[in-house]
C-alpha cells in the first residue's frame, strides 16, 4: 500500500516571480514576507517580490531577521513583532531557514493561542495562513515539503510536519541561486543528494518517490560538480534547482533517515552547514541498506560509484573536537529519534558512536 500527496503548485522558470505576479492577488490584500538578513537583497529575489506585490496593489511587511538554523526564540520574536498586523498570507524567500520559519510563523499567526512548542502536536491545529515559498538555494526542497526544522530551547534541531504547511505555491527561479558561494553550493547540493538517497532507501519509499529520487540523483551526479566548478553555469544551476525540488518531493513522502538524524547536532553545536553535516553520514545509510534492498543499493552505486568518494570530491571533509559528554548525548539522542524507524539496517549505540568517532580529532 502506498499513497501520494503533493498539493504544492510549482512554477519553475527564470523571472518566475515577475511572470506570475497575478497569482499573489488570489491570496488577499496583505502579505508578510519572511526572509534572512542579506542574501535575498543581493540575489534580487526580495526586490522582485516587492515589485510584484506593489504592482498588484498588495500591502506587505518584510520581516528579515531569520538566521541559519532558526530557533524557537527567533520564531517567538518574529510572531511577537508581526502579530499586531493582520496578514492574509505569508511569503517565505531565501534558503531553507527562512522557508521553514515562514511555515512556523504562518501556523502561529493563524492560531493565535498556540506556542512554538505546540507546532509539534499536530492535533492542536488544522490550518495555517497560505504559504508561498521562493527558494534561493538548491538543497532543502522546503518549497515542496510539509516540514519545518527548528532548533529547540535546548539547542537540538527538531522537525515538525503538518499538511497545512505545504506551500500553496512554489516559485522557483534558478537565477537566484547563482550568487551562492562554492561552500554553500556544496552544502546545499549535498543536502539534496541526501534527500534523494535517504528517501530512495527509506522504508517509506514509494513507486512515485523512487522515480523522483532516481532522476534527482542523476541530475546531482551530473550537475553538482559543474555548479561547483563554474558558479555562473546557469544550465547546471537550473538542473540543481530541479534536482532539489524533486528530492524535496521525495522526502515529503518518505521522510529523511539516519544521515539527517546524525547530522543535526553538528549544525547546531558545531556550526557545520546542514548539507555538509548530513552528507558526512550518507555512506552509512547506503551501507546499512545493502543487505535489505541490494538492488536499490546497486542502483545508487550505478549512478555514483562510491558515494563517499563522490561526496569527498565535492570538497567535504569534516574533522571536529568532540567531548565524551557531547558524544554520549548525541548518541542517546539519535537512538530515540523518530526518523531512525525508517532507516534500513541495524544501527545501535556502538555503530552510531563509531560514525561520530570517524570525524573526531584531538
Query: Rule CB under 6 A: which residues touch ligand NAP?
Result: 36-39, 43, 68-69, 94-98, 100, 136-137, 139-142, 145, 147-149, 157, 176-177, 179-180, 184, 188, 191, 274-275
| Residue 124 · residue 118 · CB < 8 Å | yes
Smaller CB separation from ligand NAP, 97 or 254: 97
Q: Which of ligand NAP, Zn ion, none does 339 bind, CB closer than 5 to 8 A by kind?
A: none
Smaller CB separation from Zn ion, 36 or 130: 36
C-alpha separations of 348 from 37, 285, 291, 325 in Å: 41, 13, 16, 18
C-alpha separations of 74 from 83, 104, 163, 353 in Å: 14, 11, 23, 32
Q: How near is the Cβ of 36 to ligand NAP at its closest, in Å?
A: 2
Q: How near is the Cβ of 311 to ligand NAP at its closest, in Å?
A: 16
Q: Which of ligand NAP, Zn ion, none does 38 bind, CB closer than 5 to 8 A by kind?
A: ligand NAP
Smaller CB separation from ligand NAP, 72 or 147: 147
* Phi/psi of residue 128, nearest 5 degrees: -140, 165
Smaller CB separation from ligand NAP, 20 or 179: 179
Q: Which three cell numbers stand for residue 296?
A: 536499490
Q: How near is the Cβ of 4 to ligand NAP at its closest, in Å?
A: 17
DSSP state of 71: B
Alpha-carbon distance 79 to 64, whole Å? 13
Convert residues 315-354 into a mask of x (bound to Zn ion by CB under 5 A) and - (unbound). Answer: ----------------------------------------
Smaller CB separation from ligand NAP, 36 or 130: 36
Whose CA is closest to 93, among 52, 50, 35? 35
Whose CA is closest to 39, among 181, 142, 194? 181
| 173 lies in the site for Zn ion, by CB under 5 A | no
User: Which DSSP string corresponds to 39-102?
Assistant: HHHHSSHHHHHHHHHHHTT-EEEEEEEE-SS-BHHHHHHHHHHHTTS--SEEEEEESHHHHHHH
Q: How near is the Cβ of 149 to ligand NAP at its closest, in Å?
A: 4
Whose CA is closest to 297, among 337, 348, 345, 353? 345
* Phi/psi of residue 171, nearest 5 degrees: -110, 110
| 198 lies in the site for Zn ion, by CB under 5 A | no
| 276 lies in the site for Zn ion, by CB under 5 A | no
| 191 lies in the site for Zn ion, by CB under 5 A | yes
Give the nearest residue (CB) to ligand NAP. 36
Smaller CB separation from ligand NAP, 29 or 156: 156
**Overall size of the chain counted in residues:** 362
- Region from 14-22, 189-197, 199-207, 343-351 binding Zn ion, contact rule CB under 5 A: 189-197
Pairing assessment for the beta strands 89-94 and 59-66 based on DSSP bridges: unpaired
Local structure of 322: helix, strand or coil: coil
Smaller CB separation from ligand NAP, 176 or 347: 176
Alpha-carbon distance 122 to 26, whole Å? 27
Smaller CB separation from ligand NAP, 149 or 201: 149
Q: How near is the Cβ of 299 to ligand NAP at its closest, in Å?
A: 23
Q: Which of ligand NAP, Zn ion, none does 145 bind, CB closer than 5 to 8 A by kind?
A: ligand NAP
| Partners of 63 in the β-ladder | 34
| Residue 34 · residue 91 · CB < 8 Å | yes
| Binding stretches for Zn ion (CB under 5 A) | 191
Amino acid at each position: 500500500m502506498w499513497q501520494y500527496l503533493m498539493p504544492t503548485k510549482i512554477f519553475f522558470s527564470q523571472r518566475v516571480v515577475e511572470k506570475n505576479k497575478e497569482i499573489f492577488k488570489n491570496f488577499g490584500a496583505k502579505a508578510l514576507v519572511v526572509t534572512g538578513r542579506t542574501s535575498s537583497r543581493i540575489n534580487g529575489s526580495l526586490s522582485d517580490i516587492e515589485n510584484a506585490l506593489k504592482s498588484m496593489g498588495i500591502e506587505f511587511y518584510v520581516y528579515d531577521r531569520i538566521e541559519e538554523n532558526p530557533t524557537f526564540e527567533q520564531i517567538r520574536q518574529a510572531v511577537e513583532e508581526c502579530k499586531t498586523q493582520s496578514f492574509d498570507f505569508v511569503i517565505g524567500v531565501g534558503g531553507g531557514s527562512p522557508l521553514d520559519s515562514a511555515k512556523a510563523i504562518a501556523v502561529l499567526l493563524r492560531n493565535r493561542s498556540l506556542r512554538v512548542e505546540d507546532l509539534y502536536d499536530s492535533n492542536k491545529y488544522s490550518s495555517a495562513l497560505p504559504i508561498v515559498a521562493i527558494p534561493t538555494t538548491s538543497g532543502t526542497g522546503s518549497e515542496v515539503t510539509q516540514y519545518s526544522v527548528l532548533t529547540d530551547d535546548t539547542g537540538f534541531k527538531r522537525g515538525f510536519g503538518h499538511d497545512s504547511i505545504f506551500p500553496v505555491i512554489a516559485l522557483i527561479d534558478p537565477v537566484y541561486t547563482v550568487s551562492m558561494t562554492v561552500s554553500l553550493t556544496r552544502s546545499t547540493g549535498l543536502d539534496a543528494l541526501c534527500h534523494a538517497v535517504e528517501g530512495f532507501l527509506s522504508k517509506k519509499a514509494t513507486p512515485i518517490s523512487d522515480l523522483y529520487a532516481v532522476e534527482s540523483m542523476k541530475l546531482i551526479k551530473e550537475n553538482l560538480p559543474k555548479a561547483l566548478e563554474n558558479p555562473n553555469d546557469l544550465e547546471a544551476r537550473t538542473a540543481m534547482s530541479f534536482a532539489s525540488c524533486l528530492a524535496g518531493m521525495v522526502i515529503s513522502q518518505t521522510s529523511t533517515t539516519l544521515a539527517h538524524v546524525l547530522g543535526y547536532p553538528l549544525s547546531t553545536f558545531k556550526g557545520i552547514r546542514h548539507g555538509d553535516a548530513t552528507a558526512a553520514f550518507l555512506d552509512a545509510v547506503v551501507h546499512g541498506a545493502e543487505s535489505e534492498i541490494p538492488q536499490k543499493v546497486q542502483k545508487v552505486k550505478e549512478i555514483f560509484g562510491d558515494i563517499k568518494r563522490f561526496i569527498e570530491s565535492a570538497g567535504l571533509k569534516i574533522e571536529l573536537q568532540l567531548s565524551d559528554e557531547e558524544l554520549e548525548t548525541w548518541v542517546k539522542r539519535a537512538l530515540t529519534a523518530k526518523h531512525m524507524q525508517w532507516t534500513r539496517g541495524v544501527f545501535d549505540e556502538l555503530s552510531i558512536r563509531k560514525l561520530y568517532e570517524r570525524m573526531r580529532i584531538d
